[in-house]
Amino acid sequence: MSTVAALLTPRKSPVQARSAVTVGALHTAAIQVLVREGLSRCTTTRIAERAGTSIGSLYQYYPNRDALLVAVLERHLTGISTAVEQVCREQRGRRIDVMAAALVRRFLAAKLRDPEEAKALYAVAEERGGVLLAARMRERTVAAVAAMLGSASDARFDDVCLVATMALGAMFGPTQTMLRGAAPSESGACFERELVLLVTAYWRAYQSAPDRVGDTPTGTA
């Protein structure tokens, strides 16, 4: 185990039932404190207090504060990556518009399962341990989407990896801005439809015109 990983990896795993309860309480407490107080005020004291346990219990399972926060972030990102990988396997060989609709639906379902959690974890993803973890998770999802795109029945992509990265980024950006905005259940359906339209239109551009577009526009007029 490398030095940096050792500092961010859980110390030991719970074997009895009550210890599993403790780590679960620490996870939810960390998220709650993160939402209410912000990352800079998300301290070990406050987390343990809200979890109803003691500081010592926290340090039995995590070597430091960042390890706990990274563990919470990892659970969040793993849920999204797994959902994307699953939908990408299911949609192999389909048409790209079907792929786009299924991908957006599953991505949003996983991301918006707990909007407060998703919103608060953006701050953790900006810290040193968070960016590395997010990079690993993004590699997984990009690979899955790229494999799906390569099997499309009605389009050819010269660089599936690039297109997958762009598509995931195009889904991530609007989702992030929407999470900062109003209640997510307000215009959720409208947002999903628009996101499907965005990804579909992007991928359909590769059906007819695999070359670049826009630098010397001579198109429809």
Partner DNA sequence: CGAGTATGTGAGGGATCGTTCAGTTTCTGA
Partner DNA sequence: TCAGAAACTGAACGATCCCTCACATACTCG
Q: How far is the CB of 70 from DNA (least distance, A)?
A: 12
Positive or negative torsion for Cα 43, 46, 51, 57 = positive
State the Cα–Cα distance between residues 60 and 77, nearest whole angstrom: 24
Cβ partners under 8 Å of residue 122, min gap 6:
176, 179
Decide if 198 contacts 170 (C-beta within 8 A).
Answer: yes
Query: Which of positions 7-46 make contact with its own copies (CB under 8 A)?
Result: 38-40
Q: How far is the CB of 10 from DNA (least distance, A)?
A: 12
Amino acid present at 169: G
Query: Which of positions 52-91 make contact with its own copies (CB under 8 A)?
Result: none
Length of the chain counted residue by residue: 221
Q: CB under 5 to 8 A by kind: which of its own copies, DNA, none does 55 bind?
A: DNA
Nearer to its own copies, 15 or 190 (CB): 190
Decide if 203 contacts 100 (C-beta within 8 A).
Answer: yes
Decide if 97 contacts 200 (C-beta within 8 A).
Answer: yes
Q: How far is the CB of 7 from its own copies (least distance, A)?
A: 14
State the Cα–Cα distance between residues 18 and 213, nearest whole angstrom: 59
Using CB under 8 A, count the residues that bind its own copies: 56
162 is an interface residue for its own copies by CB under 8 A: yes
217 is an interface residue for its own copies by CB under 8 A: yes
* Positions in the binding site for DNA (CB under 7 A): 12, 14-19, 21-22, 41-46, 53-57, 59-60, 63-66
Q: CB under 5 to 8 A by kind: which of DNA, its own copies, none does 131 bind?
A: its own copies
Which tokens sit at 123? 């701050």
Chosen residue from 97, 106, 108, 111 binding its own copies by CB under 8 A: 97
Nearer to DNA, 40 or 208 (CB): 40
Q: CB under 5 to 8 A by kind: which of its own copies, DNA, none does 9 bind?
A: none
* Alpha-carbon distances of 68 from 34, 109, 122, 139, rounded to whole Å: 12, 25, 15, 23
Nearer to its own copies, 23 or 160 (CB): 160
CA 138 to the chain's CA centroid: 8
Instruction: Provide the b/e sequence for 133-142 (b: ≥16 CB within 10 Å).
Output: bbeebbebbb
Decide if 72 contacts 27 (C-beta within 8 A).
Answer: yes
147 is an interface residue for its own copies by CB under 8 A: no
Binding site for its own copies (CB under 8 A): 38-40, 95, 97-98, 100-101, 104, 122-123, 126-128, 131, 134-135, 138, 154, 162-163, 165-166, 168-178, 180, 190, 193-198, 200-202, 204-205, 207, 212-215, 217, 219-221
